[in-house]
Chain A
Amino acid sequence: MAANFPTQEQVQGGIGATEPGHDHAHHDEHHEQGFLSKYVFSTDHKVIAKQFLISGIFWAIIGGTLSSLFRLQLGWPESTLEWLTPLLGKWIEAGKLNPEFYLALVTMHGTIMVFFVLTAGLSGTFSNFLIPLQIGARDMASGFMNMLSYWFFFVSSVIMFASLFLETGPAAAGWTIYPPLSALPQAIPGSGAGQTLWLVSLALFIVSQLLGGVNYITTVINLRTQGMSMSKLPLTIWAFFLTAVLGLLSFPVLFSAALLLIFDRSFGTSFFLSDIYIAGQALPNTGGSPILFQHLFWFLGHPEVYIVILPAMGMVSEILATNARKPIFGYRAMIGSLLGISLLSFVVWAHHMFVTGMNPFLGSVFMFLTLIIAVPSAVKTFNWLATIWRGNIRFTTAMLFSIGFVSLFIAGGLTGIVLGNAALDIQLHNTYFVVAHFHLVMGSSAFFGLWAGVYHWFPKMFGRMMDEKLGYLHFWLTFIGVYLVFLPMHYVGIAGFPRRYYAWTGFDTFSQFADLNKFISVAAIVAFLGQFIFIFNFFYSIWRGRRATENPWNSNTLEWTTPVIPGHGNWPGDIPAVHRWPYDYSKPGAEQDFIPQNVPYSQTQSSNLPYEKEME
């Protein structure tokens, strides 16, 4: 393959000076690790990444199952669900799903998917896996904190999972847990022990996020290999870096909101409670504001959607460029738009609250800011399109999922412009239009980013390839399934169907789409079942997949210069130095259609651009 390029050893020979001390320590580390320290309490970023990934897959199955259950209710509101009794027990009452348990299902579906799958499973997996490998570091800045990050997440997961089996049911006030509903067990049983566990679990989750985030930021700033300036970083790293910054600044606000809610629930304070008469009793709380909670919640909640989508954007940029065999178009504009999105994501939160009674002037301000954020998003989309334009595209499964990501991001992003318009949000707020919008733009898109990442980096994770044919089947089934579910959902939303409704049959206004809802349910359940193809492919390929080569995609970034299965410390010898940006694909004059980042300009004289000549 790399006939004209120097071998790894030759390249590394030139930069032997990097981190001698570290290397020395590394060479001493070749003793056998025990099972526990290797696979369980590991401080190796690659193992921690796999732990996050497999936990994420577990949670995705739970979250998907919950959604199938409530889609059964929504598609066939009149029919009996008696046959689910073995699974749901007392939550099936006389053949009907308990309405409070229905609310618990939607609540837990949202919580699990947003936090446990798309935050921990996506960013946790790939930030951990790719940051050290792509910037050329032996490991994270603090392997121990990184391990703690996973185990805090694990404990948080155990608590959240346990809450599913409580007698009073899990939290049921919506994933946004707006008080007073979430504060008062009198209002809904799920707000008893279920909500307590939810809050404890989320608090631990936030600790996990902060431990991880501090580590990601420190690692990106301090541990880049020689020559890896910020302007030579792959876009994945830029995305993970900014994601970590967002998380670090916004998660503490959710922590404070959760803490104040715990105080209101357990210690008689009135941060969010006022003037309440419930269950035949006037509560003593006065002076609190439920709207205050919403401000605190969405101050995290909105950056959160970017925490979910930025890593996907970064990975998609990388995968599109690699498989179109073309440089990403507008590298600097891509970084600029990531920065713009990150900055703006902090000042748009109240667009979730246009009709809460918030001062309409504030609504105007947030409408302006919200629509500004559409501009960098549009720029990213155009740049992705320009990247595949005149490329030479290889449809790996990862590439297909990346194309799918762009398609879904457009479809879901555009309707955000409608929802960000306060005057239009009056009608659309909390309808299925919103549900369709965010499931496309942050749910499905982020999932597609996740799958693209798994298919693309699987060879580096496990040293084997996933089966391509099954991958194609998985992609097309999922892609078509997602559109069949969420496009018609817009129609339902435009007609004004409210979300979190157990049934619409009580309203004449919401009577017209019974067939369409059935259709959506069928599509959703089939698409969900299709995911088991992926799960089979994933686990089968870990042990039985075709063996991978070092750089199966002919990619430029540093992780592909490691051995097929990188050991602890990632590179057996010195860490390669970096000489160029990561997107020298199909450079005119070059022998091959890719030039890895660690190849110096002196070895590519035939393809150097005029301004690169002086760097030879």
Chain B
Amino acid sequence: MTTLSIILVLALLLVVFGLLFRLQILTSIFSGSSNREVGVSNRVNAILCLVFLVVGGAWFAWSFVENFDKMNPPIASVHGLATDKMFWGSMSILGVAFVLTQVLLFWYSYKYQHKDNRRAFFFPHNNKIEIIWTLIPAIVMAALVFAGWKEWSRITGPAPKDAVVLEIMGKQFNWLVRYPGRDQKLGMVNYRLIDATNEFGFDLSDQNGIDDFTAGEIHIPKGHPVLLRIRSRDVLHAVYMPHFRVQMYAVPGMPTKFWFTPTKTTDEMRAQTGNPAFNYELACNQICGRGHFAMKMNIIVDEPDDYVAWFAKQESFSSQNPEVLASFKQKSNKLVEKAPVAPGAAAVVTPTAAKASL
């Protein structure tokens, strides 16, 4: 019943608008305004251009200031501070260009509105002006591109040798994380070995993988370079850590990497933001299916000592899943001779071993 009456009201409204529209056309024909080439509307539109410039500009300025804090979440990486500076630097230059051109556009529209007694200025070209306004943007672009290129080269350059290494693997729809154990070497993996237990596809016939451990959240030490080794086991994902200004695709069949240096621990950030529940978050930023919007993992930045302590407490995958290890042992007797790693042994990772990675 309500739907019906709503439809009825809407239909009546449409009829009323239709009649008004027809009426307006008829009156304009009778008043003769439809025959004038340039009428009152021209003046109204010219004024509206100016109003749009002023009111629109004021609204833009107000909303920008109002939202400025919200659009600047805190940054916690070395390169992030640099790129953020560059971002706002570029935006300022572009902002000047934006304001200047918009003001000219709408001011000219207003100022040079049709007047019966005026004739437009015949001004087809001027090479000097053209050259000037080709060169100015070219020079500005050159400056921006050079600054960007320098920063980009630094960010994508090789990671420092002493970087803490960990591997992030994307899958529908969560992240898996793997650390090299005390040997600081990630073991081999093979996607054909993946099953419900061996989610990474550990190939434990590789010695380097015996002490590798997986984790439910990412721990990284403050102030040390961290190298993320990134891969995916099904579709594309993207490792996106907005607070660290980190983003890199996770590509099945093509491991990628990204390194950065965190500058603030989670606790420091909690104090700074006044939010005791604050957490660095890892999000997926490449469409990957139904759960794309929920692929979250927390990142904890520890003081280096805390990180070492956390690292020492982790148990290796092989020790937690002896049956997986056993299945590899059966396959190769050599392995048994070479790797007398008893369950639990990986748990006694010495703090010094972890420190070696720092």
Contacts and interface: CB of A to CB of B under 8 A. Distances in A.
A289 B233 CA distance: 13
B234 A388 contact: no
Given A385-B101, A421-B148, A488-B67, A331 B125 contact: yes
A356 B94 CA distance: 27
B63 A488 contact: yes
B112 A277 contact: no
Nearest to A513: B70
A503 B291 CA distance: 10
Interface in A378-430: 378-379, 381-383, 385-386, 388-395, 400, 403, 406-407, 410-411, 414-415, 417-418, 421-424, 426-427, 429-430
B192 A502 contact: no
B68 to A, nearest CB: 8
A180 interface: yes
Given A331-B124, A360-B156, A378 B114 contact: no
A378 B254 contact: no
B130 A393 contact: no
Contact of B233 (A276, A391, A417, A585): A276
Interface string B55-69: 010001001100100
B292 A585 contact: no
A500 interface: yes
A498 B241 CA distance: 11
Interface stretch (A22-30, A32-40, A114-122, A321-329): A321-329
Contacts of A495: 70-73, 242
Nearest to B134: A379
Given A291-B254, A390-B112, A507-B296, A368 B124 contact: no
A14 to B, nearest CB: 26
Interface of B: 21, 24-25, 34, 37-38, 41-42, 44-46, 48-49, 52, 56, 60, 63-64, 67, 70-73, 80, 83, 86-87, 90-91, 94, 97-98, 101-102, 104-106, 108-109, 112-115, 118-126, 129-130, 133-134, 137-138, 141, 144-145, 148-149, 151-153, 155-157, 172, 191-192, 194, 196, 201, 230, 233-236, 238, 240, 242-243, 245-249, 251-254, 256, 277-279, 281, 283-294, 296
A18 to B, nearest CB: 28
A99 B236 contact: no
A614 interface: no
Contact of A391 (B24, B112, B287): B112
Contacts of B129: 386
A506 B296 contact: yes
A611 to B, nearest CB: 12
B125 A423 contact: no
Nearest to A509: B281
A392 B91 CA distance: 34
A276 B191 contact: yes
8 contacts: A173-B287, A181-B288, A278-B234, A363-B152, A393-B109, A395-B45, A429-B285, A588-B122
A495 B112 CA distance: 40
B105 A403 contact: yes
Nearest to B17: A536
Nearest to B193: A282
Contacts of B133: 378-379, 382
A480 B141 contact: no
B157 to A, nearest CB: 8
B42 A392 contact: no
Interface string A350-385: 000001110010011001100110110011011101
A550 interface: no
A180 B120 contact: no
Contacts of B145: 367-368, 371, 421
B296 A385 contact: no
Contacts of B234: 180, 184, 187, 276-278
Interface in A276-299: 276-278, 280, 282, 286-291
B251 A276 contact: no
Given A357-B251, A385-B105, A508-B279, A424 B148 contact: yes
Contacts of A99: 290-293
Nearest to A470: B21
B98 A410 contact: yes
A330 interface: yes
Contact of A394 (B38, B87, B94, B101): B38
Contacts of A180: 234-236, 252
Contacts of B34: 546
Contacts of A375: 134, 137-138, 141
A502 B98 contact: no
Given A327-B123, A424-B148, A414 B98 contact: yes
Interface residues of A, number: 118
A509 B242 contact: yes
Given A410-B101, A415-B94, A427-B245, A277 B144 contact: no
4 tightest Cβ-Cβ pairs between the two chains A and B: A274-B253, A357-B256, A360-B156, A496-B242
Contacts of A277: 191-192, 194, 201, 233-234
Contacts of A374: 137, 141
B105 A585 contact: no
Given A393-B112, A513-B70, A291 B293 contact: no
Given A372-B141, A423-B86, A467-B21, 17 more contacts: A103-B289, A360-B152, A379-B134, A392-B115, A394-B42, A395-B45, A395-B46, A403-B105, A417-B94, A424-B87, A467-B25, A469-B24, A495-B72, A498-B283, A502-B292, A506-B293, A587-B122
A588 B121 CA distance: 8
A504 B153 CA distance: 32
Given A282-B194, A355-B238, A504-B293, A407 B233 contact: no
B161 to A, nearest CB: 19
A390 B90 contact: no
A226 interface: no
B322 to A, nearest CB: 23
A545 B304 CA distance: 76
A248 B262 CA distance: 48
Given A364-B149, A374-B137, A508-B278, A392 B120 contact: yes
A487 B63 contact: yes
B101 A395 contact: no
A406 to B, nearest CB: 6
A282 B191 contact: yes
